[in-house]
Structures are given as structure tokens and as C-alpha cells.
Amino acid sequence: MSSDKAVTLRINGHDETATVPSHRTLLEALRGLGHVDVKCGCEKGDCGACAVLIDGEAVDSCLTLAHSAAGREITTLQGLGTPENLHPLQLSFSELGAAQCGYCTPGMIIASESLLRKNPSPSEDELRHALSGNPCRCTGYVKIFEAVNAAAEVMRNSGDPK
């Protein structure tokens, strides 16, 4: 049966090795490696707190097996920007007060980034649709939508394909 096996994961541009059994989720492996910017919420794909980008698309890391993610490009919130050089979404979320307790924020930003890569000018409906898997129990969403729209504008004007 299943025993610990090494798996090389490409996380935020760096290879890291996790030694985990087959049944370990990517969420558990990432947090085990110290990537605690990936939050553990419902662990059944309802809350989006554990969202990461895999090959540029937002997925729930709680619904992905760690060993299945070998060879894929994994991006967590910290892979988007550093404290010295924040990603426009990170900057607008902090400047516009789009977080209260902050637990949903990493997943919210990852889901927003995944949306903006495909659709740089989302409508209100498209934005709500893209964030429908990221419940926030504090904010009421208004400031979150404002922050995503503000970041989208910055990203469009910067011409940065990110």
C-alpha cells in the first residue's frame, strides 16, 4: 500500500521535494513545505481558501493529489509578488481595505489573477462569476470587487501580460 514517496513540485519557480504518501493532497504538501500562504478551509472545494495556480489556472489544492501535481507549474500567493514588489492585486487589496480577517484573501487573489489572465476587463457579472467559489464571511464583497477592478486597470495600463 501507500507509503512515503518523494515528489518534486515546481513551486513559485523553484523545485522543492516533498516526501508524502499517495493520498496526501497538494494543500497538505504545500503547507508541509512551509507555504502557509495557501490556507486550509473546508477541504472539499467549497471555500477557495486553498486556491493555487496550476499551469496558470486557479484550482483548489485540497482537491488535487500532491503526486498528481509533479511537473506542473504551481503558483501560490507568494509567487505573484514579494513584499518589496507587490503584485497589483496584492497592492489594491491592501490599499482599498479588501480584507478583514484575511483568511480568504490568498484564494481570492489567486482566483482574481486566474480571471484577469483570461479576461483583463471583466464585467461585474464576470467578476462575480469568477469569485463564486471564494466565499468571504467578513467583507460583503464590495471592497473586494473594487480592489480587483482597480488592479485590473493598473494591469491593463502597465501592459504587463501578467
Kindly tell me the number of DSSP H helices and DSSP E strands found in the chain: 6, 5
Separation CA 29–CA 31 (nearest Å): 6
Record the cell numbers describing residue 110, joined without a space.
Answer: 489567486
Query: Between residues 68 and 82, which has the closer beta carbon with respect to another protein?
Result: 68
Which residues of the chain form contacts with another protein (CB under 8 A)? 1-2, 21-25, 43-46, 48, 51, 57-60, 62-65, 67-68, 111, 114-115, 118, 128-135
Q: Do 110 and 52 touch, CB atoms closer than 8 A? A: yes
Least distance from another protein to the Cβ atom of residue 60, Å: 4
Query: Between residues 57 and 95, which has the closer beta carbon with respect to another protein?
Result: 57
Least distance from another protein to the Cβ atom of residue 50, Å: 9
Least distance from another protein to the Cβ atom of residue 150, Å: 20
Query: Between residues 56 and 97, which has the closer beta carbon with respect to another protein?
Result: 56
Query: Between residues 1 and 142, which has the closer beta carbon with respect to another protein?
Result: 1
